[in-house]
């Protein structure tokens, strides 16, 4: 199963991001969405799992979005939260995938059998950080994460 993971769009869904997510069976947005239109466009590709970020807190359309979300991803229990600082110190034993955003810094980190993933920011560039998202290949027995630099072909 191909899964797209995106975060920190801040109201901008780049054409490169939209293209990179084509063919995904599910899309995960880790918050700081910025505009409802971003979710509408992503939902035109695949079903969504979404949390709101700190910059979404005062947006009327985002009031119904959760701050934390637990869900199953092809047999893997996932926890989705915008800021890694809000991840509980003691995670439930079944959680094998932790997805965060907020820092704009992409990271793939295995801690034992648990994957911590931050897809980075797919919105406007900040602090010379890369503009990225992540793609996951998820089977019942494995997760293969890959970061996609959306501007790698740009000068």
Residues 70-128 pLDDT 10s: 999 999 999 999 999 998 877 888 999 999 999 999 999 999 999 999 999 999 887 78
Q: Is residue 154 predicted with pLDDT exceeding 70?
A: no
Cβ distance 88 to 70 under 8 Å?
A: no
CB 84 within 8 A of CB 54: no
Q: What share of the chain is helix, strand, coil (3-state, %, to 5)?
A: 15, 35, 50
Q: What is the pLDDT of residues 18-57, one digit of tens each?
A: 999 999 999 999 999 999 999 999 999 999 999 999 999 9
* Per-chain mean pLDDT for the chain: 94
Q: Quick one: average pLDDT of 130-149?
A: 96
Tokens of 155: 């000068």
Q: Output the pLDDT for position 153.
A: 53
> Which domains does the chain possess?
2-149 (3.60.21.10)
User: Does residue 1 register a pLDDT over 90?
Assistant: yes
Question: CB-based contacts of 133: which residues, under 8 Å, 6+ apart?
Answer: 4, 5, 6, 7, 17, 20, 21, 119, 120, 122, 147, 148, 150
For residues 139 and 119, the answer to whether their CB atoms sit within 8 Å is no
Residue whose C-alpha is closest to residue 54's, from 78, 30, 89: 30
**In the block, residue with structure tokens 């019942």:** 140
Whether 35 contacts 58, CB under 8 Å:
no
């Amino acid at each position: 199963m191909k899964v797209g993971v995106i975060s920190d769009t801040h109201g901008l869904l780049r054409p490169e991001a939209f293209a990179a997510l084509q063919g995904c069976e599910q899309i995960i947005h880790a918050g700081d969405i910025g505009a409802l239109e971003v979710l509408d466009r992503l939902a035109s590709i695949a079903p969504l799992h979404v949390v709101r970020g700190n910059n979404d807190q005062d947006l009327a359309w985002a009031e119904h979005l959760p701050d934390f979300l637990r869900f199953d991803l092809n047999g893997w229990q996932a926890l989705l939260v915008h800021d890694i600082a809000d991840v509980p110190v003691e995670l439930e034993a079944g959680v094998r995938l932790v997805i965060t955003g907020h820092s704009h810094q992409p990271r793939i980190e295995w801690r034992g059998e648990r994957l911590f993933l931050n897809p980075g920011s797919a919105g406007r560039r900040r602090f010379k950080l890369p503009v990225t998202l992540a793609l996951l290949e998820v089977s019942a027995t494995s997760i293969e994460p890959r970061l996609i630099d959306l501007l790698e072909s740009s000068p």
